[in-house]
């Protein structure tokens, strides 16, 4: 049973979803704001359940076939030209030497049940999820070159993340469990920061969190800072020896937090926050 790890705080909601997906052998689709630990979840699930992890990072050019296998015709042609009799030709006649296994195949072949992460599935072509329906449903696919069906020895735990860049087809969604990672509330956030920085003084933690949530409350921000940015920021603060006394001025709205660049990733947002602070500093 997955209940989170020493470095990953999972809400009861999330761990229920993970456990249900593991037990009923369905893929688990994870969505949520960027930086809320979607990708990290697969790593932590694999670690806590003690299973090997296979990660398949999807890009705009990725095709479903690449996750299964690729047949390298060019090297086989080259080899056949250069080969003598005997050993070499045996190698050339065996097609499996020229099949490059994809992540899905590797996960299927794993000796024990594996965790397979399909990261950012929404980055790929619009047809991509449809091409994987059968593979994820039956956990098998047919290899034309070898003329045999590859099926999973142990159905892997499949975790799929999406950033909502494009909509996924209904047929695909029907086969998945779905969990939307909500942005953590203050209480959960305190736990999250605490597992990363056990030595963080309580006063500083409270200050950083209020500064952080204040920034998140600014509605006009293009990209709100998320958990991973908060962690980076706290790390910076600690490394540079900032104490909670340095952060007291933030409440009076006259000063920008130090190392703001760790929290806000585009200049419009930084400008906006600066302007807000200046407005707050005005005497009238």
Q: Catalog residues that contact another protein under the rule CB under 8 A.
A: 12-13, 16-17, 19-21, 23-24, 26, 28-29, 31, 73-74, 77-78, 80-81, 126, 164-167, 169-170, 173-174, 176-180
Of 170 and 199, nearer to another protein (C-beta) is 170
3-state helix, strand, coil in the chain (%, to 5): 50, 15, 35
**Taking the complex as a whole, how short is the minimal distance between the CB of residue 95 and another protein, in angstroms?**
16
Q: How many CB atoms lie within 10 A of CB 198?
A: 8
Of 23 and 203, nearer to another protein (C-beta) is 23
Report the chain's terminal Cα–Cα distance, integer Å: 58
Task: Give the three-class secondary structure for 112.
Answer: coil
Of 180 and 259, nearer to another protein (C-beta) is 180
Of 59 and 78, nearer to another protein (C-beta) is 78
Task: Give the three-class secondary structure for 99.
Answer: strand
Q: How far apart (Å, rounded) are the C-alpha atoms in residues 221 and 219?
A: 6
**Taking the complex as a whole, how short is the minimal distance between the CB of residue 176 and another protein, in angstroms?**
7
- 8-state DSSP, 176: S
Q: Which two tokens stand for residue 121?
A: 């599935």
Pairing mode, if any, of strands 115-119 and 53-57? parallel
**Taking the complex as a whole, how short is the minimal distance between the CB of residue 224 and another protein, in angstroms?**
12
Of 16 and 39, nearer to another protein (C-beta) is 16
Of 82 and 239, nearer to another protein (C-beta) is 82
**Taking the complex as a whole, how short is the minimal distance between the CB of residue 160 and another protein, in angstroms?**
12
**Taking the complex as a whole, how short is the minimal distance between the CB of residue 180 and another protein, in angstroms?**
4
CA 167 → CA 132, 134, 162, distances in Å? 15, 19, 9
**Taking the complex as a whole, how short is the minimal distance between the CB of residue 2 and another protein, in angstroms?**
10
Nearest partner of 112 among 48, 156, 150, 158, judged by Cα = 156
Q: Which helix (H) or strand (E) element contains residue 15?
A: helix 12-24
């Amino acid at each position: 049973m997955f209940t989170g790890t020493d470095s990953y705080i999972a809400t009861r909601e999330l761990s229920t979803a993970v456990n249900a997906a593991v037990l009923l052998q369905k893929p688990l689709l994870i969505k949520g704001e960027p930086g809320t630990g979607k990708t990290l979840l697969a790593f932590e699930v694999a670690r806590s359940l003690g299973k090997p992890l296979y990660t398949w990072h999807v890009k705009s050019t990725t095709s479903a076939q690449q996750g299964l296998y690729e047949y390298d015709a060019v090297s086989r042609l080259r080899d056949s030209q250069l080969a003598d009799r005997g050993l070499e030709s045996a190698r050339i006649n065996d097609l499996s030497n020229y099949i490059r296994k994809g992540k899905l195949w590797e996960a299927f072949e794993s000796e024990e049940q594996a965790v397979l992460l399909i990261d950012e599935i929404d980055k790929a072509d619009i047809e991509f999820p449809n091409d994987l329906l059968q593979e994820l449903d039956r956990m098998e696919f047919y290899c034309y070159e070898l003329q045999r069906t590859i099926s999973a020895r142990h159905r892997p735990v499949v975790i799929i993340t999406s950033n909502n860049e494009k909509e996924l087809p209904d047929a695909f969604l029907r086969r998945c469990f779905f969990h939307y990672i909500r942005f953590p509330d203050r209480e959960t956030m305190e736990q999250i920061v605490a597992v990363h920085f056990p030595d963080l003084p309580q006063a500083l933690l409270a200050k950083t969190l209020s500064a952080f949530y204040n920034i998140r409350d600014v509605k006009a921000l293009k990209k709100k800072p998320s958990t991973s940015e908060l962690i980076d920021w706290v790390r910076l603060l600690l490394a540079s020896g900032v104490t909670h006394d340095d952060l007291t001025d933030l409440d009076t709205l006259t000063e920008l937090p130090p190392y703001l660049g760790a929290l806000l990733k585009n200049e419009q947002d930084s400008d906006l926050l600066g302007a807000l602070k200046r407005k707050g500093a005005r005497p009238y």
